[in-house]
Amino acid sequence: MSQIQERGSTHVYKVNKISKEEVDGMVARCVYEDPPFCSAACPLKLDARAFLQAAAAGSFKKALQLYEKIAPFPLILSSGCEAPCEGKCRLSEIGDGLAVREVEKAVARFGEQSKLGGIFRTKKRKTVAVLGTGLFPLLLAGELEKKAYPITVCCAEADEEAYLRAAAPFLDEEAFRLELKRLRGKDIQFEFSCRLDAAFFEEKRRSADVLCASWELTGELFPEADCVQELMIFEKERIVTGPTRGVMEAAFGAKKAALTVDRLAQNLDPRNTRGQEGAVESRLYTDLSEAKELSRVPMSGGGYSKEEAVREAGRCIACHCEECMKACAYLKHYKKHPGLLGKEIYNNTQIIMGDHQLNKPMNACSLCGQCTVVCPNGFDMARVCHMARRNMVSTDKMPLAPHEFALLDMLFSNDEAFLARPQPGFEKCKYVFFPGCQALAIAPETVKAAYLDLCQRLEGGVALMLGCCGAICDWAGRYEMEQQTRDFLDRELSKLGDPIVIAGCPTCRKELESHEGLRIVGIWDLLLELGLPAGARALDRPAALHDSCGARGDAKTQDAIRELARRLGCELMDTPYDRDRAPCCGYGGLTAYANREVAAEMTDKCLARSEAPYISYCMACRDRFARQGRQSRHILELCYGTDAGAPPDISEKRWNRLTLKNELLREVWLEEPMEKKLDYPLLWTDEARRMMDDRMILTDDVIAVLEDFRQTGEAILDDDGLMVARRRVGNATFWVKFSREGEGFRVHRAWSHRMRVEKREG
Amino acid sequence: MAIEKNYYTIDPQGRLSCVKCGVPLIKGKAKFMYLDNGFPVELPVCPVCGFVYVPEELALGKVASVERALEDK
């Protein structure tokens, strides 16, 4: 039996099949973390989505906390805010944009102010003096107070009330009262009735670490001074300043100036590490189909009441892009957006010492490419995972266990169960039928009927090739094995006269398309040309068509299958996520072997689209749906009037392949195949069969153990009267619990482990 | 004298016997090995032929979880 070398513990570090730049480029396509359009448009960077959600939930206190992050005086900002967010609201494309400013006003008015800082707040050591009156000095003082600077505001006014009145004369009485209370509550020192002249400036320059002043005042005292607008600073005079013309301008200026104060207080260049300031562009995608309330909630008075604000905020659709997670069971399972998961999977490949904790997610992706189609930016998770798997293989860090069964199955298909023969009477053939390993395993009768039909109706000879296309090792990231399989198939095809390949499976077709110079046609295309075979029959009830992920991006094949179904007389029902958007059944990418839980969720996701029976054109899909108890048929079963029946277990799948090969050798090529026959009866309990299928233990493995027992007599006797024997086969040790039945055996239980075990001396 | 660490102990408690040698299995010294790692354990062993028995619960429980952990190293 073929074996695959288990990896050692010494890793190769120099071979890298994945580059950080490439992964970064791919990861950057994910827009999940891009800000919503309203936040992106706000120069002050209000987290408008969270703000509106809090308001919609009636939590005005939380909403106000979020608003206060950008506005030390919420009523001043909301009175003069120009609301650039409203113009960018996605709802405005299909109805009224959200009245964010009015909700802000209501929140500022009705929201309970939280107790910020308190007595335990540690103050910074550097002191700041803010000179002059107006919106900018007021807002800057508020910003700096948030940053815990000891601030002194020096103004010509006699008290706080006059100071606030001069800065924000536009506030109505109630708003003025609230903001005055807020101002008094802040930890700001005032020096009233100051003579703000040059001598006062000099005095403050000496006493404070950073000096700030209103634009007007600085301009008056230093007419020659030149302000660097993006930093809000008169560099030569070292005075931080800002505009006082409009609320928005003053608020944004105060934000920038506060950052400049921060840098100056640390004796750093204010030009560096400022991050992204002001409004930005967002690439976020929003599915507007979820929007329900398209009209603005009308105002009963001068502004929203609390209830009206809650209703208006409730219209927010909380723009977020989860298109891939909505479609893909794998991404949903790991609850991470692909940008993050992709980055983590890349990092996993670069670990030299330590646990590769992302091995499981890396091997759980079905590599089906659905995410690339549903993602508005074409994020390709399959490529990230595939490259990561190849990299793990190339650095000898890839565990063999998750994929070994599938890889051995492939070696079995291309060795013991392999068959390549020209049609009798032909030395070289025009065509070769390549049904694919799953069709041989699941529906051998259908394959036989199809081959005999093609031989009869096509001219130029139809060869037969029973084997695996190499998708298994490609999915496992075993690129050297993939090349060997490719070379092997090319050699065998060459012996048959390089015929046109008639693919029975869309994944085989896709895999074989990468072979240089190979001409391929789907059997579905030929059946449309030749007409339906004699025994074709439709399903007797409406069915859902499941598109194969192997046919993603192949509209011709998708159309051909629909046309075949139509000619058969099948009534097809529409399902969500069809054609290029179809999900994977759970077999692709070897998910079914590496992570059964995710594979089961994938199958459930496919089946949740319809209650009807499923028609598929990939035998793996047909098998997985049938295993879940759904009536499931392959289009070729309908074309040839066959029924593969209940899904076979893992041993029956191998047996089906061998039996079909031997049957065809006997009936078509009139050869007597070498068949292994047991010379003793072998029986099973039902529990043993179920157990073996679940634990991936083959009949052949059990036979190997029993053969060993027959030769050596080595076994132990348990207190239940049953014997247990064992044998190392490849990289695993198999244990079989059995009883003697006359000349033969009855198997009761079976289990295995990969660790070697031996007796220890001393 | 070095103290030897045993990772796992299973006593056959006289329930098991070796078919070939016809003697009861005893608690004996054995070793699990996987991916260049070795773990000394005590398992049911035939005192005559040295057959080491790995019970089903152990194979599917502790052994499987250690295998997973080592595979991801």
Instruction: Summarize pLDDT for A223-277 with one digit per residue, the tens.
Output: 877 888 888 888 888 899 988 778 999 999 999 999 999 999 999 999 988 888 9
- Rounded to whole angstroms, the Cα distance separating A701 from A724 reads 14
User: How does residue B66 score in pLDDT terms, banded at 50, 70 and 90?
Assistant: very high
Average pLDDT estimate for B24-29: 95
pLDDT higher at A350 or A623: A623
> Is the four-CA dihedral A218, A224, A228, A233 of positive or negative sign?
negative
Number of neighbours of residue A123 by Cβ within 10 angstroms = 12
Q: Is the pLDDT of residue B56 over 50?
A: yes
For A147-176, the DSSP string reads TT--EEEE-SSSSHHHHHHHH-TT--HHHH
Q: Is the pLDDT of residue A565 over 70?
A: yes
- Rounded to whole angstroms, the Cα distance separating A475 from A364 reads 11
Q: What is the widest separation between alpha-carbon atoms in chain A? A: 115
Cβ within 8 Å of residue A156, ≥6 positions away: A133, A193, A194, A195, A196
For A44-79, the DSSP string reads T---HHHHHHHHHTT-HHHHHHHHHHH-SSHHHHHH
Q: Which amino acid is at A560?
A: A
pLDDT, position A640: 98
Instruction: Say what the ipTM of the complex is.
Output: 0.96
How near does any CA of chain B get to the CA of A759, in Å? 4
**A371-412 pLDDT, tens digit each:** 999 999 999 999 999 999 999 999 889 999 999 999 999 999
For A327-388, the DSSP string reads H-HHHHHHT--HHHHHHHHHHHHT-SSS--TTHHHHHH-----HHHHHSTT---HHHHHHHH
pTM of the model: 0.89
User: How does residue A651 score in pLDDT terms, banded at 50, 70 and 90?
Assistant: very high
In order of their start, the domains of chain A are 20-32+322-399 (no CATH), 34-121+312-320 (1.10.1060.10), 128-265 (3.50.50.60), 402-650 (no CATH), 682-753 (3.30.2310)
Average pLDDT estimate for A507-516: 95
| Pairing state between β A716-717 and A723-729 | antiparallel
Nearest CA to A8 out of A695, A731, A701, A727 is that of A731
> Is the four-CA dihedral B35, B36, B39, B40 of positive or negative sign?
positive
Nearest CA to A359 out of B67, B54, B22, B21 is that of B67
Bridge partners (DSSP) of residue A633 are: A615
Give the DSSP H or E segment for A636: helix A635-639
Which of B6, B46, B73 is best to mutate for the A interface (most A CBs within 10 A)? B73
- Hey, are the CB atoms on B71 and A712 less than 8 Å from each other? no
Q: Which amino acid is at A635?
A: I
Bridge partners (DSSP) of residue A234 are: A227, A239
Nearest to A753 among B45, B49, B67 (CB): B67
Q: Is the pLDDT of residue B1 over 50?
A: no
- Rounded to whole angstroms, the Cα distance separating A504 from A439 reads 8
pLDDT, position A10: 65
Give the DSSP H or E segment for A724: strand A723-729
CB of A607 within 8 A of CB of A575?
no
- Hey, are the CB atoms on A9 and B37 less than 8 Å from each other? yes
User: How does residue B7 score in pLDDT terms, banded at 50, 70 and 90?
Assistant: confident
- Tokens of residue A595, six digits: 């992570």
| Pairing state between β B17-18 and B8-9 | unpaired
Q: Contacts from A218-222 at CB under 8 Å and sequence distance 24+?
A: A221/A197
pLDDT, position A702: 98
Q: Is A755 helix (H, G, I), strand (E, B) or coil?
A: coil
How near does any CA of chain A get to the CA of B62, in Å? 10
Residue of B nearest to A5 (CA): B35
- Hey, are the CB atoms on A724 and B15 less than 8 Å from each other? no
User: How does residue A13 score in pLDDT terms, banded at 50, 70 and 90?
Assistant: low
CB of A408 within 8 A of CB of A730?
yes
First-residue to last-residue Cα distance in chain A: 36
Average pLDDT estimate for A587-605: 97
Q: Quick check: A357 contacting B, CB < 8 Å?
A: yes
pLDDT, position A762: 65
CA B2 from chain center: how many Å? 21
Place of tokens 């209703």: A311
Q: Is the pLDDT of residue A118 over 90?
A: no
CB of A465 within 8 A of CB of A395?
no
**A721-753 pLDDT, tens digit each:** 999 999 999 999 999 999 999 999 999 999 999
- Hey, are the CB atoms on B19 and A717 less than 8 Å from each other? yes
Give strand ranges (E) for chain B. Answer: 8-9, 17-18, 26-34, 37-45
- Tokens of residue A699, six digits: 């009949």
Nearest to B71 among A401, A723, A758 (CB): A401
pLDDT, position A530: 97
Chains A, B: CB contacts under 8 A, how many? 104
pLDDT, position A234: 84
Rg of chain A (C-alpha set): 36
pLDDT higher at A698 or A761: A698
- Tokens of residue A571, six digits: 């009534």
Average pLDDT estimate for A33-51: 96
> Is the four-CA dihedral A574, A580, A586, A588 of positive or negative sign?
positive
Give the DSSP H or E segment for A605: helix A596-607
Residue of A nearest to B40 (CA): A760
- Hey, are the CB atoms on B51 and A714 less than 8 Å from each other? yes
How near does any CA of chain A get to the CA of B44, in Å? 10
Q: Is A742 helix (H, G, I), strand (E, B) or coil?
A: coil
Number of neighbours of residue A19 by Cβ within 10 angstroms = 12
Backbone angles phi, psi at B54, to 5 degrees: -110, 105
CB of A466 within 8 A of CB of A436?
no
